[in-house]
Amino acid sequence: MKGTKLISVDSLLLACLALGFLHSCPSVFAETDEAGAEADSETPQEKLLVIMLDGFRWDYYDLHKKHLNAFQHFISEGVHVEWVEPIFPPVSYPSWTTVSTGVFPETHGVIGNYMFDLNISDPTQAVFDIFTHETTSKIEWWQNSEPIWTTATRYGKKTFLRFWSRCDVPFNEVKPFECTPYREARGTENIRQTFNIAVQKLKQDFDLVMVYGEHIDNIGHKYGPNSNELKQALIDVNNMLNELLDQLIDSQMDEKVNIVILSDHGMTWTGMGSGVQYISLDSQIDKSEVYRSVDRGSFMAIAPFAKHLDSVYQRLLKVEGVDVYKREEIPDEYHYKNARLAQDILVVAKEKYFIRGLLTSKQIPRDKESNYVWEGNHGYPNMPDMRGVFFAKGPAFKKGIIHKPIHLEDVYQIFARILDIPAGPHNGSWSRVSHMLVNRAVPSVHSAFTSTLALAFIACRLAILFLLEDNSS
């Protein structure tokens, strides 16, 4: 009997070693793209700098290219995507979170710059407001999908983020190595400081550096996308990008660092003279039938009291210039309606219309801007002006490539490929982005299969311990 147990131990040991090997090599199970490129276990470790330039519309470069030589350098030495299709809604927080996770808003749960949770009894605690730091810091907002910096940190990468969403909120108790969360940081000097810090962190051997600048977006909102002020903002950012590139050359890092520049959305003209009509819903609905109204401009989410749902809905259907949906009617292509925080009614402005906020304390946000009309705005679905940009250069990218359009949810897997870490489940398409990369192998993906391998490996080890103990008795 003892001999039989020893054979069982040997067999189990071999099986466990095999499982352990497979589990430790997730790239073994990576898919191949349509060209059959296999995952490469010899991929060198590369650094990644991601620069998010909020509100950089897809055609700004073409309109002002003679003034934007830093971006010309990216085109000659790397990749320029014709445009990036945004998610819905094409506003900041949902877009930042899609870039970071690769999934649509209805999956990661951040569906607006303003949100309201009907399941929280205290209304003051139920609000998510982009400009109120305390409201966006709740850990509950951020636990649906793992961001790239969390995965990178778990895999031993040094991660640094500046002004990038709520990177300070842990996901499954994991935080990045260093993080300064989003706050308003207006003006060019904030961008210069951010770029300088990014270079410092790369010199300090950080693997992933993600930074954010909102100057272009701020100017686009205030003066409009066709303004001289917007043109100057682009020139200023271009000049600071040249400074960043010069610093990398001086540090002999320019050929070692992959740089991705992208935007979260575009911008359209909505100010006086644009032909945009401003819609006030105050006279269209009975506000006593509404519990909360959330956001304004390009769309508004409305939470009516349950018994008044049909009444509010029917009145809104009569409003010109908007599409009105009950939650279940929201188009599937928006990838919005299944989010937990989606309200019962969604009002979406058509092109050349702007929804003013309700004049009531039930409106979120309710401040001087809730009824304000900007010169530029975003958040509209299926509008070319909402498209964003993508420039990239570095050892991971081919040179001199003008690439076909990609989608915002695609870029996450590029980050995973460059960092050589597994990607989480995501909505991106590898075939849309693989042709820009030197290594076209599909990033390995966390899956139920790899989790099963881990559990099987643990079970094997426990079985060996049991048999060894039994054999010695």
- Mean pLDDT, range 143-163, rounded to an integer: 96
The secondary structure of residue 274, as a DSSP letter, is T
Q: In the chain, what percentage of residues exceed pLDDT 70?
A: 84
Query: pLDDT confidence of 446, banded at 50, 70, 90?
Result: low
Phi, psi of 369 (to 5 degrees): -95, -5
pLDDT at position 57 is: 99
The span from the CA of 321 to the CA of 332, in Å, is 21
- pLDDT at residue 301 in the model: 99
On the CB side of 242, how many CA atoms lie within 13 Å of its CA?
Answer: 11
β-pairing, 290-294 vs 299-304, is antiparallel
Burial class (CB in 10 A: 0-12, 13-18, 19+), 317: exposed
Which of 3.40.50.1980, 3.30.1360.180, 2.40.110.10, 3.40.50.300 would CATH assign to domain 277-372? 3.30.1360.180
Q: Kindly indicate the confidence band of residue 463, based on its pLDDT and cuts at 50, 70 and 90.
A: low
Distance, CA of 116 to CA of 364 (rounded, Å): 8
Q: Can you list the positions of beta strands (E) in 272-429?
A: 277-279, 290-294, 299-304, 322-326, 345-349, 353-355, 363-364, 376-377, 390-393, 401-403, 406-407
pLDDT for 454: 44
The pLDDT tens digits of the residues spanning 194-207 come to 999 999 999 999 99
When pLDDT is cut at 50, 70 and 90, the band that residue 371 belongs to is low
Q: Is the pLDDT of residue 297 over 50?
A: yes
Domain coordinates in residue numbering, the chain: 2-30+447-472, 47-109+144-271+384-436, 277-372
User: What digits encode the pLDDT tens for the residues 35-76?
Assistant: 333 344 444 578 999 999 999 999 999 999 999 999 999 999
- Cβ atoms of 30 and 413 within 8 Å: the answer is no
Q: What is the mean pLDDT of residues 265-287?
A: 95
Per-residue pLDDT at 368: 63
Q: Which residues pair with 355 in a beta bridge?
A: 279, 297
User: Stretch 324-338: mean pLDDT, rounded?
Assistant: 98
| pLDDT mean over 330-356 | 98
CA angle in degrees (0–180, nearest 5) for 315-316-317:
90
pLDDT of 15 strictly over 90: no
d(C-alpha 339, C-alpha 424), whole Å: 19
* Structure letter (DSSP) for residue 66: G
205's tokens: 């051997």
Q: What is the mean pLDDT of residues 311-320?
A: 98
Picking from 133-137, 299-303, 401-405, 435-439, which range would have the lowest pLDDT averaged per residue?
Answer: 133-137
Of 299, 313, 285, 387, nearest to 349 by C-alpha is 299
Task: Say what the pTM is.
Answer: 0.85
DSSP letter for 388, please. Answer: B
Which pLDDT belongs to residue 35?
34
Place of tokens 């993508």: 390
Condensed to tens digits (0 to 9), the pLDDT of residues 205-254 reads 999 999 999 999 999 999 999 999 999 999 999 999 999 999 999 999 99
Mean of the per-residue pLDDT values of the chain: 87
pLDDT number for residue 394:
98
Q: What is the average pLDDT across 176-197?
A: 90
Greatest alpha-carbon pair distance for the chain in Å reads: 92
Length of the chain: 473
Q: How far apart are CA 458 and CA 461, in angstroms?
A: 5
Question: pLDDT (tens digit, 9 = 90+) per residue, 80-112?
Answer: 999 999 999 999 999 999 999 999 999 999 999
CATH number belonging to domain 47-109+144-271+384-436 = 3.40.720.10
* pLDDT exceeds 90 at position 28: no
What is the DSSP annotation of 133-182?
Answer: HHHHT-GGGG-SS--HHHHHHHTT--EEEES-TTTTS-BTTB--SEEE--
Do residues 153 and 171 lie in contact, with contact meaning Cβ atoms separated by under 8 Å?
Answer: no
- pLDDT per position as a tens digit, 36-46: 333 444 445 78
> What's the pLDDT at 183?
80
Quote the DSSP letter at residue 266.
-
